[in-house]
Chain A
Amino acid sequence: MIPELGHYALMLALGLALIQGIMPIVGTRTNDAALMSIAAPAALAQFVFVAIAFLALAECYVASDFSVLNVYENSNSAMPLIYRLTSIWGNHEGSMMLWVSILAFFGALVALFGNNLPVTLKANALAVQAWIAAAFELFILITSNPFLRIADAPFEGRDLNPILQDPGLAFHPPMLYLGYVGFSIAFSFAIAALIEGRIDAAWARWVRPWVLGAWMCLTLGIAGGSYWAYYELGWGGFWFWDPVENASLMPWLAGTALLHSAVVMEKRGALKVWTILLAIIAFSLSLIGTFLVRSGVLTSVHAFAVDPTRGIFILAILVVFIGGALALYAWRAPLLKQGGLFAPISREGALVFNNLFLTSACATVFVGTLYPLALEALTGDKISVGPPFFNATFGPLFIPLMLVMPFGPLLGWKRGDIVSAAQRLLAAAVLAAVAVAAAFAIEHGGPVLAPFGVGIAVFVMAGAVTDIAERTMILRLPMRATLMRAIGLPRSVWGTAFAHFGIGVTLLGIVAVTAWGSERIVAVKPGEIIDISHYRLTFDGVFNRPGPNYRDVVGHFTVRRASGDVIGAMEPSRRTFPARNMATTEAALMSRGFSQLYLSLGDPNPDGTVPVRLFFKPHVLMIWLGAIIMFFGGGLSLSDRRLRVGAPRPAKAKAKDKPALQAAE
């Protein structure tokens, strides 16, 4: 009964999405306020029915209803509740349900909180949102129905793919989807603006909170996925330039560019046409990401679906939405009015620089990810484009970006003074130089360029601090006055500083781990000792440990400092899942400050030795810590009053805020 209810609710949601997609557009064309006002209640109702469908699926998983094919294939009654819930999105059908649920959720948010939007813009944007929802609901109903039943219900399910049975997977896909789908709002607003042929600075003010929210979720989602791959796959790498990872990185790069160009548009009314294009690109890349992961065109851990009809359906969605949006853009964009002027050296100029490099970096990732597919389709040659390609293209494009980043916030709008900005960054530059020298002195081995990488990271971090120091006039005013200034600073300024600082932290982690990480691969017998960096590990032996739906073969290692005192034990294991006859490597991690010891086991050899892979990862935690700082910065910026004014706020409060707003600027 429950699955049928869910299936039916999804069909009703599709019907509602079609109404929401057609009526408001007709309304804006014929100037019919009644038709336009259908959009908001339809969006809310659509969300309610999609939510019912999603909850129905969740209930099937919680109750372990193996008469539902999707549950049978991906769940097992022995799994803990949390993994039964996460297996909802650990497979193709369920993850598409999650995608649509989030899409409908965002649509409902716009409907609820968009009271201060112009009526036509709101109606059109919700209609575009509904078209996306309708396409994906149709996709689920036709090719990927999660509610299919099996005639003879089996007693037990096939279990979730073991590498997905991990707490990280409870968090990473929903965050990623919140990011992907969040860009759909910017997309819908961009299309709505193109349909109307009119756009102004206020548009950027409405869209920016959505972009910022999506960017925050995507940042955390990518970082979460990276950490999951780091500890779960047992290879100790944090980024593999795998197509699936690239699929999430591309929208992030485009979204970061969009975030910055929207600032220019909001403050200065410039870059309108470009911002609209970026909004289209950011969501298009999200769609392409979905296509890459979900269609099975890639050989990758994430490609669960190997079904061509799905691929063709998603391809059709891509062609219609991306092609349609770009065609509309080509037709309508010339109608949009040009914005304000600015000198090349100015805040706007710096943000344009940011956009140029971010989009170019995004383009190199795009080419590297899709070229092998295109070549195989055209010539049949199979090639792989691996990390060397991305390191050789992405890296050089990112270095100038990092070097210019601290200058941006220090330059004035319209016309900036680069000499004065450089003077103010002098302290940061000196600090960076000291860091380079220190890195040369302390670390031995590793690439020659690595200390300069440290220097750039320190420059970025110190640059972010400089911005705040300059604005609060620290050391030049009494402590109290500085504090008052710090409190009075707009939160978006703090947000910028935190986000930029976070980039520096992540960069520092990447440089340190790549340049000075060490690795030992050995086969050990009980009692043997492995030395790495300043640590000494003793292998004590293996023992068995049963789990709820798996068996662990655990290796026990005692960790000592080089001086001899014991600092703990590490227990990596080989985990066998009988339901799938599959084994995974469960690495053991020990954090020492920001650094980590990383230990994983191989299959025991016939002679009784156990292959062991031991890494020392200096400052590796900074990579993800930086992402969390970026997320926090985004959150600060999102809580800025000035941003909120354009977004959710009842009509009454708006009138009150307007004068205050003008005074603040």
Chain B
Amino acid sequence: MTTIAHTENRAGQTNNVSANERGYFVPKVNIVETKDSFILEAEMPGVTKEGLEVRLEGNELSIVGGRETGVPGAEPVYRESSPRDFRREFVLDPSIDTAKLSATIEQGVLTLTLPKTEKVKPRKIQVTD
């Protein structure tokens, strides 16, 4: 599992062998951290909104992308792509407000916005006289 954590240990712990062994394809992800949120992008070519499942259980987030592969009525001659569905799991840091997750998918890239709770957002404090 990939850890998304608001801590010093930025390398995180990664173990996606489980998803791989269960017959899924592990999508490539990019994660950036802004002051308000984490933004996660996952490459899931061929996955539509209907084929996508984003599930949250406690602090574990899983993304699953089902896809149709092949060309109806045509025979494969040569194949490099994987016919497997996508799956990857993440452990979310407690600083993430799990009630406010949002997801969009566009041209095979899933974008998840994981906002931080109000408590951990940096705040500017006005100095009053």
Instruction: Check if A and B associate.
Output: no
Chain B residues near A (Cβ < 8 Å): none
